[in-house]
Amino acid sequence: MSLFTITAFSVNLSVGMGMDNLESRFAACADVSLYGEYIGIDNNMTIFHDLGFSNFTDIFLKLNYPITPVIGIGTAFGVAFSDGFFFEDKGMFFNLGLAYYSDDYEVKLNMKQYLNFEGKLGNFPLIQILCRFKIGEW
């Protein structure tokens, strides 16, 4: 028998949909997020009708508040209609955003900027608006 319980770390799983804007191309996306109190992983799947299928995987840091800034890094892989399978190995994406976490859902506005390993910024930021619903907590 215990008089009190301390939760050191809990993990939440949420799924949802959103919208990506890449160089004035808008596309719907499916999103899965696994996050704890201060760290999380996002996986975002998008099909751009003229470019191909892209999958963005990010690891991010956040505060343990309902409204929190998020900052992270990530990579991309997928299938381009013109070139076939690709994996982004010449750079990474830096993420900066603002998120609202409630007990049942979350809303996130995120901007991703590509930076190659030579220090050059990409020509475009990727802007995402995501809405996810929590499906589990452990």
Walk along the chain (138 residues) and give the pLDDT tens digit of each residue. 444 434 445 788 889 999 888 777 889 999 999 999 999 999 999 988 888 999 999 999 999 999 999 999 999 999 999 999 999 999 999 999 999 999 899 999 999 999 999 989 888 888 999 999 998 887
Q: Give the whole-angstrom CA distance, residue 65 versus residue 77.
A: 31
CATH of region 14-137: 2.40.160.20
pTM (two decimals): 0.82
Sequence spans of domains, the chain? 14-137
Among 39, 100, 90, which residue's Cα sits nearest to residue 68? 100
